[in-house]
Each structure stands twice: as C-alpha cells, then as structure tokens.
Amino acid sequence: MRRLAGYLLSFALGCSVFGQGIPPNLSKTIGTTPPDVKFVDTQGRAFRLSDLKGKPVILSPVYAGCPSACIVISRSVKHALEQLGLPEDAFIIVTFSFDPKEGRAEMASFQKTHHLNAHNWRVAVIPDDQALFQMLDALDFRFTYVSEQVKDHPNLLVFLDSEGVIRHYEFGLEFTPAQLQRGLRIARGEYTLWERVSDWIFPLGALGVLATGTWIMFGSRHRRRQGREPS
C-alpha cells in the first residue's frame, strides 16, 4: 500500500501544471493588457506590442545565459510549431530576456544558437530596466537568483489576443503542439466552455485518485494497529 501511495503521489506531482519558480497569479493577469513598452530585436529594430495588434501574440520570457530550461522551452516551441504547420502570418512570437543585465548581443547569440529564425519570431530585449520590470509585473513573472549566473523562474508562455489582452498561460518545459494549438485557439476566442471544463477533469480526477489511495492506506494502517492492541 505504501508503494501505491508513492506511485499516486508521483502521478499527482507529474500532473502539476507549473514548472520551476513562483507561478503567476492568473486571477491578477488574465483579461489585462500589458504595458506598451519598447522592445528592441536582435537586428536593432524597435517595436511595441501595439504594433503587433491584429494577430495573437505568444510571449516567451527567457534569459540567454540559462543553462537548461530556456533552451528546452525555445527548442520545444520551435519544433511544436513546425509540427503544427500553421502559416507564419497567423501569429507572432516574442522571445525576450527578463534579465536586465542582458542585451541584444546575448539574445542574438541565443537566437543564432537555437535557430529561432522564423519570419514571425522576434527575439528581443526591453532595454529600459523600469519598462522591463513593468512588463514582468504585468505578467506576474517573478524570478530569483540562485547564483549570479543562474535564476529560478517559471517555465511558461503567455498568449495575447489580437488586441494585446492576456488570455491564457501555458506551463511546462517541453511544449507540445497541442498546448500551442490550445493557447492560440483561446487567444482567438475559439475555445469552447466544454473544452475548458475538460481541461480540469483529468487533474481533478488524479487528485481524487490520490485522496482515495491515501484514505485507503491510512485506514488500513489504522485497522491493523487496532487489531494489534490487547483487548
């Protein structure tokens, strides 16, 4: 029974939607509009989110010096989008550094190394520190320093609708085509109420299985203990 409880606990943890770091408070962010701060891409071209209106936008906060997670995230998004085969003019991706110490050179190297070269993929920085933290606050994206080089951060994508309003977050490390398709459909207002409900059925079912298994385990131990007590 103890082994069963261990399996159930591992299963529930495996179903966790959040990656590392402090997860954002979605009740604070969904339905809000991030500040229209200035980004500068690796080619030196300035743009704002308002310039991208008319299409869904995927925001991917990373940092170029990341030793693991940001690399996996960016590569998995690239591969997932290739598998989806959506036209490049259907949406825009903005991968930007949340590290105020990084500039265009670091992000250009990140872009080149990981081949983030799609026409609709902008790799950028927010050069003004105050504007950067305004953006991170609007996304409720919080990171902490593990060391001078390594940062603990949430692993996520943020989906904006064609008017620049935050509509959805996807969490994880290796993103799948299904996750990106879901996020884009939500951003386009195509996701049905039943689909939203269905997204919660499996995690809630997993918690129910965990709770039942835990109750059975402790109930069995309690009965064995009572059986051993002298009358």
Both structure tokens of 22 = 């402090």
Report the candidate in 94, 102, 99, 104 with the shortest Cα–Cα distance to residue 143.
Answer: 99
In-domain check, residue 13: no
Q: What is the pLDDT of residue 193?
A: 59
Give pLDDT, residue 148. Answer: 80
The pLDDT value recorded for residue 88 is 87
In a domain, 132, yes or no: yes
Q: How far apart are CA 193 and CA 20, in angstroms?
A: 29
196 in a structural domain = no
Q: Is residue 47 part of a domain?
A: yes
pLDDT of residue 207: 58
Look up the domain containing 118 and give its range.
19-191
Assess if residue 91 is contained within a domain: yes
**φ and ψ at 93, to 5 degrees?**
-110, 135
Average pLDDT by consecutive 10-residue portion of the chain (231 residues)?
40 42 93 98 98 98 96 97 92 98 98 96 98 98 90 97 98 96 96 58 54 59 58 53
For the question of whether the overall pTM of this predicted structure is more than 0.85, the answer is no
CATH number at residue 164: 3.40.30.10
Given a contact cutoff of 8 angstroms between Cβ atoms, the answer to whether 57 and 183 are in contact is no
Domain count, the chain: 1
Tell me if 159 is assigned to some domain. yes
Residue 219 lies in a domain: no
Q: CB of 96 within 8 A of CB of 61?
A: yes
Name residue 164's amino acid. G
